[in-house]
């Protein structure tokens, strides 16, 4: 059973998702919160597998709440951020803060359920082609603070090649074909990159590839 926490300052949205999840056999709502501060406390006490997180909320916004939840050493919760079409400028900061992907609020309800399942399984919600375009757009924007630094000590030459291909949006099968290795070997390289780079999922490997300039933003 996948344990889900719903975080949104609009009760109607939480209610709709709660009713939708109640009709499934593999998901259950373990708590709700109306702002980011409540979300951090809820994640600590209820220990959900997935936190469905709104961005713009009172008291504490979704980006900072995401950073606190994913930065807690005792937390195993994955954060799936809610956004609207006019929230695009928040997507990359949310991913940088530790979110495993994002949902658009007006997408099909079944797609939202599938997104929760994907993130709970430890994968990234965003498809490779979308990830490449999205991160390519946002990583090129100037940051108001000092750029995020990524430690790459201990990463082998082969793992660096794999990281570059992940950043280009290739799947494990495509990486295997490109490097003339087995899919199992490609998957093992990706798994080691997760550990060495402290990445929670594939989206964050893509971000790392861009931040290390292994991949450049499309023009």
Give the 3-state DSSP-derived string for 64-103, with helices as H, strands as E and coil as C.
Answer: HHHHHHHHCCCCCCEEEEEECHHHHHHHHHHHHHCCCEEE
Residue 146 has pLDDT above 70, yes or no: no
pLDDT of residue 145: 41
Residue 211 has pLDDT above 90, yes or no: no
9-18, 19-28, 80-89: the lowest-pLDDT one = 80-89
Beta-bridge partner residues of 33:
7
Same domain, 157 and 116: no
Which residue did the predictor score with more confidence, 180 or 108?
Answer: 180
Residue 168 has pLDDT above 90, yes or no: no
The C-alpha atoms of residue 190 and residue 27 are separated, in whole angstroms, by 28
Residue 133 lies in a domain: no
Which residue did the predictor score with more confidence, 194 or 101?
Answer: 194
**Token pair listed for 135:** 């991160």
Residue 132 lies in a domain: no
pLDDT of residue 182: 95
Q: Are 193 and 152 in contact (CB under 8 A)?
A: no
Residue 136 lies in a domain: no
Beta-bridge partner residues of 27:
2
What is the chain's mean pLDDT, rounded?
A: 82
Q: Are 217 and 139 in contact (CB under 8 A)?
A: yes
To the question of pTM greater than 0.75 for the whole model, the response is no
Per-residue model confidence as pLDDT tens digits over 41-100: 999 999 999 999 998 899 999 999 999 999 888 888 999 988 775 555 677 787 778 888
Same domain, 19 and 119: yes
Same domain, 101 and 150: no
Number of domains into which the chain is organized: 2
Same domain, 117 and 79: yes
Percentage of the chain exceeding pLDDT 90? 42
Mean pLDDT, residues 154-174 = 88
pLDDT of residue 64: 95
**Token pair listed for 1:** 């059973």
pLDDT of residue 86: 54
Q: Which residues contact 101 (CB under 8 A, 6 or more apart)?
A: 80, 81, 95, 115, 118, 119, 124, 125, 126, 201, 203
Domain of residue 195, residue span:
141-219
Residue 10 lies in a domain: yes
The C-alpha atoms of residue 84 and residue 66 are separated, in whole angstroms, by 17
What's 175's domain CATH number? 1.10.10.10
Which residue did the predictor score with more confidence, 108 or 42?
Answer: 42
Residue 129 — pLDDT band, cuts 50, 70, 90? very low
Percentage of the chain exceeding pLDDT 70? 83
Per-residue model confidence as pLDDT tens digits over 134-144: 655 655 555 54
Count the alpha carbons within 13 Å of 123 in the hemisphere toward its beta carbon: 14
């Amino acid at each position: 059973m996948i344990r889900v926490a719903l975080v949104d300052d609009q009760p109607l949205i939480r209610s709709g998702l709660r009713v939708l999840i109640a009709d499934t056999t593999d998901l259950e709502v373990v708590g709700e919160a109306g702002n980011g501060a409540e979300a951090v406390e809820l994640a600590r006490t209820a220990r959900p597998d997935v936190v469905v997180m709104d961005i713009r909320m009172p008291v504490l916004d979704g980006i900072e709440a995401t950073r606190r939840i994913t930065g807690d050493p005792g937390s195993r919760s994955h954060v799936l951020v809610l956004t609207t079409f006019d929230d695009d400028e928040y997507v990359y900061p949310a991913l940088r803060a530790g979110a495993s992907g994002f949902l658009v609020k007006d997408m099909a309800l079944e797609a939202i359920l599938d997104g929760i399942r994907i993130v709970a399984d430890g994968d990234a919600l965003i498809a490779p082609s979308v990830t490449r375009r999205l991160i390519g757009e946002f990583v090129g924007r100037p940051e108001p603070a000092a750029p995020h630094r990524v430690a790459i000590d201990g990463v082998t030459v082969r793992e660096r090649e794999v990281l570059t291909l992940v950043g280009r949006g290739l799947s494990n099968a495509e990486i295997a074909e490109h490097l003339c290795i087995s899919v199992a070997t490609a998957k093992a390289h990706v798994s080691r990159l997760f550990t060495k780079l402290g990445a929670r999922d594939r989206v964050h490997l893509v971000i790392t590839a861009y931040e290390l300039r292994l991949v450049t933003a499309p023009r």
